[in-house]
Structure 1
Amino acid sequence: MDERDVWRSVDPLGEALHLLRMRGAFCCSSELSAPFGLALPAIPECMMFHVVTSGQCWLEVEGHDRILLQPGDLALVRQGSCHQLVSEPGATPAPLFDLPREAVSDRYEILRHGGTGAATKMVCGAVRFDHPTARHFVGLLPEVIRVAASNAPNPEWLHGTIRFMAAEAEALRPGGETVVTRLADILVIQTIRAWLAHAPEARTGWLGALQDPQVGRALVLIHRDPARDWTLAALAKEAAMSRSAFAARFTQRVGMPAMQYLVHWRMQVAASMLREEDAGLADVASRLGYQSEAAFSRAFKRCLGVAPGAFRRDAEAHEWVLPGSLEKVRAPGYNALQE
Structure 2
Amino acid sequence: MTDTKPQLPSYADPLGETLHMLKLNGTLYCRSELTAPWGIDLPPIEGCMMFHIVTAGRGWLEVEGEEPVLLETGSLTLVPHGAGHVIRSSADCPAEPLFDIPVERVSDRYEIMRHGGGGEYTHSICVVVRFDHVAAERLVALLPRIVQVDAWDSDAESWLQSTLRFIAREAKELRPGGETVITHLSDILVIQAIRSWLATAPAADQGWLAALRDGQIGRALAMIHRTPDRDWSVEGLAREVGMSRSAFSARFTELVGEPVMRYVTQWRMQLARTQILEGAVPLAALARQMGYQSEAAFSRAFKRMFGMPPGKVRRAPPLVPGQIPTTD
Fold agreement, TM-score > 0.5: yes
Are 1:33 and 2:35 an aligned pair? yes
Alpha-carbon distance, 1:273 to partner: 3.2
Q: Name the CA distance, whole Å, in 2 between partners of 1:174 and 1:310.
A: 39
Alpha-carbon distance, 1:165 to partner: 4.0
Matched to 2:230, the amino acid is R
CA 1:28 to 1:293, structure 2 compared with 1: closer, same or farther past 3 Å? same
CA 1:165 to 1:291, structure 2 compared with 1: closer, same or farther past 3 Å? closer
Are 1:134 and 2:132 an aligned pair? no
Q: Name the CA distance, whole Å, in 2 between partners of 1:193 and 1:314.
A: 29
Q: Name the CA distance, whole Å, in 2 between partners of 1:67 and 1:129.
A: 24
Are 1:119 and 2:117 an aligned pair? no
Q: Which residue of the other structure, out of 229, 232, 236, is the alignment partner of 1:230?
A: 232
Hey, what does 2:325 align to over in structure 1?
Answer: none
What secondary structure is seen at the aligned counterpart in 1 of 2:313? helix
Alpha-carbon distance, 1:75 to partner: 0.5
Alpha-carbon distance, 1:293 to partner: 2.5
CA 1:274 to 1:185, structure 2 compared with 1: closer, same or farther past 3 Å? closer
Matched to 2:129, the amino acid is V
Once the two structures are overlaid, the 10-residue window that deviates more, 242-251 or 187-196, is 242-251
| TM-score, structure 1 as length reference | 0.81
Q: Deviations over 1:13-32 (max 9, x none)?
A: 00001111223511111100
CA 1:18 to 1:313, structure 2 compared with 1: closer, same or farther past 3 Å? closer
| TM-score, structure 2 as length reference | 0.84
Q: Name the CA distance, whole Å, in 1 between partners of 2:241 and 2:225.
A: 15
1:61·1:84 contact (CA, 8 Å) conserved in 2? yes
Q: Name the CA distance, whole Å, in 2 between partners of 1:168 and 1:295.
A: 48
Unpaired segments of 5 or more residues in structure 1? 1-5, 317-339
Once the two structures are overlaid, the 10-residue window that deviates more, 193-202 or 42-51, is 42-51
What secondary structure is seen at the aligned counterpart in 2 of 1:39? strand
Q: Report 1 or 2 for greater relative contact order, CA contacts < 8 Å, sequence distance ≥ 6.
A: 2
Q: Name the CA distance, whole Å, in 2 between partners of 1:114 and 1:7.
A: 48
Q: Deviations over 1:234-292 (max 9, x none)?
A: 21222122323222221221122212211121122223234443334434323211122
Matched to 2:73, the amino acid is P
Are 1:48 and 2:84 an aligned pair? no
Identity percentage of aligned residues: 50
Hey, what does 2:308 align to over in structure 1?
Answer: 307
Unpaired segments of 5 or more residues in structure 2? 1-7, 318-328
CA 1:46 to 1:158, structure 2 compared with 1: closer, same or farther past 3 Å? farther
CA-based RMSD? 2.7
CA 1:68 to 1:109, structure 2 compared with 1: closer, same or farther past 3 Å? same
1:165·1:180 contact (CA, 8 Å) conserved in 2? no
Are 1:206 and 2:204 an aligned pair? no
Alpha-carbon distance, 1:187 to partner: 1.8
Q: Name the CA distance, whole Å, in 2 between partners of 1:292 and 1:165.
A: 47
Matched to 1:92, the amino acid is P
Q: Name the CA distance, whole Å, in 2 between partners of 1:170 and 1:285.
A: 41
Q: Name the CA distance, whole Å, in 1 between partners of 2:238 and 2:222.
A: 13
Q: Which residue of the other structure, out of 159, 162, 181, is the alignment partner of 2:160?
A: 162
Q: Deviations over 1:92-123 (max 9, x none)?
A: 22222332222333322221111111110011
